[in-house]
Amino acid sequence: MTKFIEVLKKVPLLTAFIGFLFAVGGIKLLHTDNNFAMGVHRYLLALAMCVFLILISGEKTFKKCEKTTAYVLKMSIGVFIFAGLLCGLGVLSNISAELPIAKDWPLQTLLLLFAIMGVGMFEEIAFRAVISDAIIYQFRNKKWVFAVSAIVGSLIFGYVHVMSDDASTPLALAQVIMKTVSTGLWGMSLLFLYWKTRNIFACGIAHGIYDFILMVKDVPFVTEKDNSHSYVHEGFLGGVSVGIYVFESIVMIVILLIFWKKVVKTIDFEDMRKNW
């Protein structure tokens, strides 16, 4: 066992691959049917993924997780506003549909917040920090290491959201591709913040807040329960979904360009290559 752990420390990509399988397996094998159970599940997975991150990055893993949370949240305000606009449209749609108000909506709102913050923390550690650090540590002397880390990590992050969806039709495939792109672009913005601060917990908080704002629109209302969590739909709704994902991608590109100017250009990549 000791020798295996030493191998994991010496081969970051192997550690990341095993961690990825563990993360995906943890999602697929352990199903949850309510927000409280989902939150507990994701927080436990997040703790488990911290082990893989420590194997890859050692003592530097959480060394800089101080005094940068406010910076990460400040830089994410634009994304929060965008999510708030979408949430507002959803609330107006529910009101216009004259949906009844749920009696326990305050409790359900808190449970959703608990669950989604756990999801954000888990996904940032598993699909951002572990993958990015593994690539950087494995290929730190290569000129292309940061570009590969950004592209590969973002594509993986985008795809894990749709990996369970059926893409057997052109419409479904279009939704899978565009959802992967839109989510991946948001993930790349978070990656830049992670590179700048090395505060993966702050990125997890920002991720959770964004998702919570998007999802809270339905909590106050009595709606038909949909436990599929699918991003792929058929017919007219599928076409609408493609349009939404395209719109999200455009907005995320604008945000990414802002991050490029305000975040990426302030990163010393040579120092990062040597000391990350």
Average pLDDT over residues 124-129: 96
Task: Return the bridge partners of 221, or none.
Answer: 101
pLDDT of residue 226: 58
- Average pLDDT, rounded, for the chain: 92
**pLDDT tens digit sequence for 150-202:** 999 999 999 999 998 988 899 999 999 999 999 999 999 999 999 999 999 99
Mean pLDDT across 237-264: 95
Residue 64, number of CB atoms within 10 A of its CB: 13
3-state SS track over the chain? CHHHHHHHHHCHHHHHHHHHHHHHHHHHHCCCCCHHHHHHHHHHHHHHHHHHHHHHHHHHCCCCCCCCHHHHHHHCHHHHHHHHHHHHHHHHHHHHCCCCECCCHHHHHHHHHHHHHHHHHHHHHHHHHHHHHHHHHHCCCCCCHHHHHHHHHHHHHHHCCCCCCCCCCHHHHHHHHHHHHHHHHHHHHHHHHHHHHCCHHHHHHHHHHHHHHHHHHHCCECCCCCCCCCCCCCHHHHHHHHHHHHHHHHHHHHHHHHHHHHCHHHCCHHHHHHHC
Tens-digit pLDDT profile for residues 1-43? 677 778 878 899 999 999 999 999 999 888 788 999 999 999 9
Task: Kindly report the pTM of this predicted structure.
Answer: 0.92
Q: What is the pLDDT, as a whole number, of residue 157?
A: 96
pLDDT at site 23: 96
DSSP-assigned beta bridge partners for residue 101: 221
Q: Give the residue from 135, 103, 107, 163 showing the smallest Cα distance to 273.
A: 135
Encoded amino acid at 155, one letter: L
Task: State the virtual CA torsion across 248, 249, 254, 259 in degrees, nearest 10.
Answer: 100
Q: For the chain, what are the domain ranges?
A: 2-275
Q: Give 191-214 pLDDT, tens digit per residue.
A: 999 999 999 999 999 999 999 999
Q: What is the pLDDT of residues 35-70, one digit of tens each?
A: 999 999 999 999 999 999 999 998 778 877 778 999
Query: In the prediction, which pLDDT does 228 show?
Result: 56
Percent of the chain with pLDDT over 70: 98
Exposed / middle / buried, residue 137 (Cβ in 10 Å: 0-12, 13-18, 19+): buried
The pLDDT value recorded for residue 227 is 52
> Residue 225 — pLDDT band, cuts 50, 70, 90?
low
